[in-house]
Structure 1
């Protein structure tokens, strides 16, 4: 982790780091302690562009409905591809929960942290009969095509 932290700040001066920390506090509504937790957990969050962080905060808070403290304690979510992984998996998880096809206790973090193979095996394949287009809709979402609704038929 120390090596990752060094890589994250290697080309940032103190002023840029302070500016990024302030941006994180404002964008994610984090306290100093929460910024510390997030940066210690995922130092590369300091290398993300302001636009990228803004898009992630808007999606995670407005669409997913996560709390700032949840994200601070799981900052790796901010380092994953928003359009290629986080958003498509959110759509699948939301679809499955709304249709009673998966345990409501399955967390968003758990779903986005699964490997692609495990995600498909555990959350998509078991529902081939109930939701035959789920794999197709998920693949489309991973390509950036945002389906308005995942389909049953």
Structure 2
């Protein structure tokens, strides 16, 4: 195993042990969403909750169980995106999906910079069964953001009535 692979493995293990954003937090914002996702292949699961203030993720928390890859990936997601704009969240989501589809090949420097610790998952792309583990939290995020954006639209329309 190369020193780079060892470093990536260490990043994943560190996030799995000391996960960022773990522990569901009550969201008292009008624009919020929650998603529960299960990887039926292995049983990993996550419930992810977001709250929006305008175009910013003001609250992001989660609770889940599963393998180190799924739990570490969700931790990295929380660390990267809590407090970020929806535009940044969308771009980061797409960059992570691209990383998973790259079959173990690194991305361009700009997307790797955007992903930060998430680049540690580059090797996961070599193992199709593990890709679902790494993407579990990201799928939950996408779903929760769709709900929150819908709640935001409904609140805005209610204000106009």
TM-score w.r.t. the length of structure 2 is 0.23
Q: For the pair shown, which has the larger CA radius of gyration, 1 or 2?
A: 1
Q: Indicate the structure with greater helix content.
A: 1
- RCO higher in structure (CA 8 A, sep ≥6): 2
